[in-house]
Amino acid sequence: LSLHDALPIFFYVNNSGVWYFRLGNTLGTAVNLVATNGAASAGVWQHIVATCSNTNVNLYANGVLIGAP
């Protein structure tokens, strides 16, 4: 994973409340990370963060790890 070439970065949640993090690059999607816990709830604020290094991507909700490769 080279973050140097990263283009679109976005978070989204599906109809079941599962968080997703997607990081694109010039070839398409470089990372598509799906949360394994920490589902979203309607009307409840959550702080969603993805951390990236050259070898790792992690997804957090309110400071708790909810997704990793």
The string of DSSP letters for the chain reads: --GGG---EEEEE-TT--EEEEEEETTEEEEEEE-SS----TT----EEEEE-SS-EEEEETTEEEE--
State the CB neighbour count (10 A cutoff) for residue 61: 18
pLDDT of residue 2: 53
56-67 pLDDT per residue, tens? 889 999 999 999
14-56 pLDDT per residue, tens? 999 999 998 877 676 677 889 999 889 889 999 999 988 777 8
pLDDT of residue 62: 94
Burial of 65 by CB count in 10 Å (0-12 exposed, 13-18 middle, 19+ buried)? middle
